[in-house]
Amino acid sequence: MATGSNIRTYFNGTWHDGDVPIMRAADHGAWLGSGVFDGARCVDGLTPDLDKHCARTNRSAEALMLTPTVSTEEMVEIALDGLKAYDPSAAVYIRPMYWGIDGDITAIVPQPDKTGFALCLEEIPLAPETASATLCHTRFRRPVMEDAVVNAKAGCLYPNNARMLAEARSRGFTNALVGDAMGNVAETATANIFMVRDGEVFTPIANGTFLAGITRARHMENLRADGVTVHETVLSFKDIEEADELFMSGNMNKVTPVTAFEDRQFQIGPMTRRVREMYWDWARSTG
CA 80 to chain CA centroid, nearest Å: 20
Say yes or no: do domains 5-123 and 133-286 share a fold: no
| Confidence band of 104 (pLDDT split at 50, 70, 90) | confident
Q: What is the mean pLDDT of the chain?
A: 95
Q: What is the pLDDT of residues 75-98, one digit of tens each?
A: 999 999 999 999 999 999 999 999
| DSSP string of 30-62, one letter each residue | HHH--EEE--EEEETTB-TTHHHHHHHHHHHHH
pLDDT at residue 2 in the model: 63
Contact 133, 174 (CB under 8 A): yes
> Percent of the chain scored above 90 by pLDDT?
92
The answer as to CATH 3.40.50.300 being correct for domain 5-123 is no
Domain residue extents for the chain: 5-123, 133-286
pLDDT > 70? residue 1: no
Q: How many C-beta atoms lie closer than 10 Å to residue 267's C-beta? A: 10
Q: What is the pLDDT of residues 264-279, one digit of tens each?
A: 999 999 999 999 999 9
Q: Using only the alpha carbons of the chain, give its radius of gyration.
A: 19
pLDDT at residue 56 in the model: 98
> Percent of the chain scored above 70 by pLDDT?
99
Is 167 in a helix, a strand, or coil? helix
Q: What is the pLDDT of residues 207-230, one digit of tens each?
A: 999 999 999 999 999 999 999 999
pLDDT > 80? residue 133: yes
Average pLDDT, stretch 63-71? 96
Please report which helix (H) or strand (E) contains residue 92, including its range.
strand 91-100
Distances (CA, A) of 219 to 61, 203, 247, 271: 26, 11, 11, 11
Kindly report the pTM of this predicted structure.
0.94
- Fold of the domain built from segment(s) 133-286: D-amino Acid Aminotransferase; Chain A, domain 2 (3.20.10)
